[in-house]
Amino acid sequence: MSSRDVLQSASTLASYNVLLQVMFRVLTFLLNAFTLRFVSKELIGVVNVRLTLLYSTLVFLSREAFRRACLSGGSGTSHSWRQVINLLWLTLPLGVLWATLLVCVWLWFLQVPDPQTVPYYSPAVVLFALAGVQELLAEPLWVLAQAHMFVRLKVVAESLAMIAKCSITVVLVVSARDWGLYIFSAAHLVYTGFLVLCYVVYFIRFLGSEEATKKSFPLRCVGDLLPCKTDGQVKGLAIDWTLAQLTWSFFKQSFLKQILTEGERYVMTFLNVLSFGDQGVYDIVNNLGSMVARFIFLPIEESFYIFFAKVLERGRDVKSQKREEVAIAAEVLECLLKLVVVIGMIITVFGYAYSHLALDIYGGSLLSSGAGPTLLRCYSCYVLLLAVNGVTECFVFAAMSQAEVDKYNLVMLALSVSFLFLSYILTWWAGGVGFILANCLNMGLRILHSVRYINHYFQFSQWKPLRGLLPSPLLLLTLAVSAGVTALSESVFCCDSGWFLRLVHIGVGAVCLLGVLAAVLLTETHLVQFVRTQLLPRYRKKHT
């Protein structure tokens, strides 16, 4: 597969992932708004912070390193898929081990919620861990699908699973409210079960079909999906030890990355700096603030990591690689940086003036009073850093050698320790806002490290992809004017003056946003062309 074909496939994957994440965020958005009317904020805090942390920690530590290693360097051609499948099945016993350890910690070492307010905590811990282990059953199939760009499979599987989860939650919240945490445990088990079922059904139908033969798919039958001994062509080794060593490097890094990603939840869970009710409010605001980051930036990062990993040769400098592939990688990196910077700055500018209104509409005075609006305003600024870091680390992790990955683990260790320390100190000083401030500081340091690596990587070449971090002067001016106008509009029209003046405030923001988009179209023509041809499927089809 040529680098252009890989780019096209990665772009398609990013487009579908964006649509998928939009649906996920919208459904979660509506589901949270619905459950807020029926359950207590303490129950939401336990589910969205403590139990979700248990699940995310289990699956991340069990599979993330395997995913990054097995999708590196086009493993479908440079490694035996028989060995890759065997390696991926190690995620299951690893997941069982993590589940056992984490359940013990969650039950015996953490503060147990009041059973009157949050009933059935202990069974819920076990069921959430079981859901994580259940999801790992589909891991070899997920990697196969990603490596061979089966973009629609992921969309269909996760869409059906999310719809099933939301349906179960709504039905049980309305009809069996006294079930407490059993409601959310059952919904999560249904979600992971649907994921596994969809992947299994797809590959049972796909393997041995004419389509699989036409695509020269490396596996022939369902039995090839299970762990087994390898043949003599791969020297009889059960797994590829090069990939295993790379997995171990990524595993050490993933543990630290998980602390950085979920750091505030770990601090809330283990240090009890916020009550369960305050944790619920913070998590809802956090979900609102990260909505755009999750349904735009994260799919772009995941999809284009695959692109960079396939196009670039890990650990080799620019001069040692094909000029055409390095050129397209540099061009894509520059466009992606420009794209996320523009989106991030728009969110920062308009998030400041519309945070109070958004929370008031979404959750009423429960969210819009107190620290809620301040939390969301700070998070709007954090989104810009989150966007830039996602793209820069996406490139860096695809280009680093194994030795560089191991060295970066030390950097991640220092960042993890500093983040936890800053989170505790700043939260003690500023409440929930302290979490966001600590995230901003650590994200800035991660960006600085990645920028230095990228600058060194392209130092002696003609390509300068970091120019993507600099928007045009006209766009910056338009954003500055919009920030001033919308802030003034909020002070005059929002948010306790009735719906008519609120609509006026919304109208002012819409006009300013149109002005910003016009500036983008006029000054960022290269970026617009990239989005049209690579990220929007309906335009790309016209150009291919």
* SS3 assignment for 54-76: HHHHHHHHHHHHHHHHHCCCCHH
Do 105 and 46 share a structural domain?
A: yes
Question: Between 481 and 319, where is the model more confident?
Answer: 481
User: Under a CB-based contact definition with an 8 Å cutoff, are residues 187 and 128 in contact?
Assistant: no
Task: Report yes or no on 29 lying in a domain.
Answer: no
Helices (H), 312-364: 323-363
Q: Are residues 305 and 440 in the same domain?
A: yes
Asked if residues 359 and 504 have their Cβ atoms less than 8 Å apart, the reply is no
Average pLDDT over residues 337-346: 92
Helix axes of 241-261 and 81-88: crossing angle, nearest 10 degrees: 40
- Of the given ranges (84-93, 199-208, 227-236, 504-513), which has the lowest mean pLDDT? 227-236
pLDDT at 235 over 60: no
Q: What angle do CA 175, 178, 182 make, to 5 degrees?
A: 90
Same domain (yes/no): 436, 363: yes
Span 405-428, average pLDDT:
82
Half-sphere exposure of 4 (CA within 13 A, CB side): 5
The rounded radius of gyration (Å) of the Cα atoms in the chain is 24
State the alpha helices, DSSP H only, in 176-209.
181-206
Instruction: Please tell me which residue, 10 or 394, carries the higher pLDDT value.
Output: 394
Q: CA torsion, points 446, 452, 455, 460, in degrees to nearest 10?
A: -150
In this structure, the answer to whether residues 532 and 519 fall within a common structural domain is no
Instruction: Note whether 440 and 489 are same-domain residues.
Output: no
- How sure is the predictor about 196, in pLDDT bands with cuts at 50, 70 and 90? very high
Q: Which of 192-196, 242-246, 343-347 shows the lowest per-residue confidence on average (mean pLDDT)?
A: 242-246
pLDDT at 165 over 70: yes
- The pLDDT value recorded for residue 78 is 44
Asked if the model's pLDDT at residue 538 lies above 60, the reply is no
Q: What is the mean pLDDT of residues 160-164?
A: 88
Neighbour count for residue 480 (Cβ, 10 Å)? 11
| Pair (339, 456) in one structural domain | yes
pLDDT score, position 19: 65
Q: Is residue 15's pLDDT more than 70?
A: no
303 and 400 share a domain? yes
Question: Could you give the angle at which helices 298-311 and 323-363 cross, rounded to 10 degrees?
Answer: 170
Q: Mean pLDDT over residues 304-315, rounded?
A: 81
Residue 323 vs residues 7, 117, 397, 464, 518: alpha-carbon distances, Å: 16, 62, 20, 14, 35
Same domain as 318, residue 191: no
- CA 85 to CA 240: how far, in whole Å? 10
50 and 194 in a single domain? The answer is yes
Q: What is the pLDDT of residues 479-534, one digit of tens each?
A: 999 999 999 998 888 776 677 888 899 999 999 999 999 999 999 888 888 888 77
- Find the helix or strand (DSSP H, E) in which 394 lies: helix 372-399
Confidence of residue 540 (pLDDT cuts 50, 70, 90): very low
- Is 19 part of a structural domain of the chain? no
SS3 of 148, please?
coil
Whether residue 212 is found in the same domain as residue 111: yes
Q: Which domain holds residue 189?
A: 39-224+238-258
Report whether pLDDT(304) > 70: yes
pLDDT-above-70 percentage for the chain: 88
Compute the average pLDDT of residues 319-347: 87
Same-domain status, 297 and 251: no
- Residue 4 maps to a domain: no
Most confident of the ranges 55-59, 490-494, 537-541: 55-59
List the one residue out of 458, 326, 296 whose CA is nearest residue 3.
326
188 pLDDT more than 80: yes
| Residue 21, in any domain of the structure | no
What pLDDT score was predicted for residue 16?
62
Residues 425-434 pLDDT 10s: 888 887 778 8
Residue 324 and residue 462 in one domain: yes
Q: How far apart are CA 385 and CA 442, in angstroms?
A: 10
Report helix, strand or coil for 293: helix
pLDDT: is 102 or 296 the higher one?
102
Q: What's 232-290 look like in SS3?
A: HHHCCCCCCHHHHHHHHHHHHHHHHHHHHHCHHHHHHHHHCCCCHHHHHHHHHHHHHHC
Dihedral angle, C-alpha 147, 151, 155, 157, nearest 10 °: -50
117-126, 289-298, 513-522: segment of lowest average pLDDT = 289-298
Sort 20 into a burial class: Cβ within 10 Å, 0-12 / 13-18 / 19+.
buried
Nearest to 532 by CA among 544, 523, 514: 544
Across residues 436-459, what is the average pLDDT? 89
pLDDT, one tens digit per residue, over 258-271 is: 877 787 788 888 88
Residue 381 preceded by cis peptide, ω within 30: no
Count the domains in the chain: 3
Question: Is 81 contained in some domain?
Answer: yes
> What pLDDT was estimated at residue 89?
92
pLDDT band of 9, cuts 50, 70, 90: low
φ/ψ of 150, rounded to 5, equals -85, 75
